[in-house]
Copies of this chain bind each other. A is one copy, B any other.
């Protein structure tokens, strides 16, 4: 085991960008350097393989000295395991979904699987493109948000032959596994809770299109429940393309109050629009909940911090991520097991805060 590697002619050592002469550094070269076969180097890279400690140590030292970095694209071709799973969320700039992403990441720890994240901007077309882009890299599983996909996307997913998990809602026609809850029932629960406190004239603020299917479900849950409670037709304002922003929440409540000035309480598709609505009210000199009560959905950090704090629905975002990943791992391991296209329900609960506090009125 001499220190000096090979006695090759003085090759041009440094000719590229900066330090790099790694561009052609391959496993075979590490092997030659150590004096073993490439296969042994390959084995040294995984814990389970049978390589003597002594050899592994020498190999790893060489890897370090040479600066070798494993090439997964080559490895996954021959092993037929890409080593990653894909997750698509509507937006990365949304703490609900990033909590879900964190749940996935955590559940994947020590599985040898990596998460690849994509965001769809609430667009089924973008989702389709992303699904294709992901599938081209052969993920071992895929996690989607919602159950609304283009036909082509469904076909591709079907063909792919990998486990699929739809999250955050309960699709009518699940592709495979589902981890989520009924947005409609969650909103319904919020309506009933507030109605039981004496509120009668309910308003709703949400986005204009059906692109955000969770938003649509919350709206229909609202309308249905208001009807069921005999509280007249619900007063719903549609404003803005999802994701509806804070600012749009503010604009929407102005429209709503112009049209129905005697509204007592307004539910919003998310805490962000609720926050915008509350701030707009304060700006106009109205008191919340004194003059009007406002509630949101999602229990974002802002809702517990802001003044008044915002009544909302807390969703187990992180748990959705963990469970979705767990279902995926189940499916990947027990391939011989029962197929188990199961539906995993996740929890939610009403969080009552200042923004709907009757005693403050």
Interface residues of A in 1-49 (CB under 8 A from B): 1, 16-23, 25
* Cβ B17 vs Cβ A159 within 8 A: no
- Cβ-based interface call for A209 (8 A): no
Interface residues of A in 334-357 (CB under 8 A from B): 335, 338-339
Task: Give the contact stretch, choosing among A66-74, A165-173, A256-264.
Answer: A66-74
Interface residues of A in 242-279 (CB under 8 A from B): 245-247, 250, 275-276, 279
Nearest-neighbor residue (CB-CB) of A247 within chain B: B305
A205 to chain B: closest CB distance in Å?
15
* Cβ B135 vs Cβ A69 within 8 A: yes
* Cβ B114 vs Cβ A133 within 8 A: yes
- Cβ-based interface call for A85 (8 A): no
Kindly supply a per-residue 1/0 record for chain A positions 75-109, scoring 1 wherever the CB is within 8 Å of any chain B CB and 0 otherwise. 01100001000000001111100110100000000
Which residues does chain B contribute within 8 Å of A339, judged by CB atoms? Answer: 17
Kindly supply a per-residue 1/0 record for chain A positions 293-331, scoring 1 wherever the CB is within 8 Å of any chain B CB and 0 otherwise. 000000001101111000000000000000000000000
Assembly CA distance A1 to B339 (angstroms):
10
| Given A69-B132, A135-B69, A279-B305, residue A21 in contact with residue B246 (CB < 8 A) | no
* Cβ B305 vs Cβ A306 within 8 A: no
* Cβ A74 vs Cβ B72 within 8 A: no
What are 18 contact pairs spanning A and B, CB under 8 A? A17-B162, A18-B158, A19-B159, A20-B162, A21-B159, A22-B159, A25-B159, A67-B155, A67-B159, A69-B136, A72-B136, A72-B137, A91-B98, A92-B92, A92-B117, A279-B306, A283-B307, A306-B306
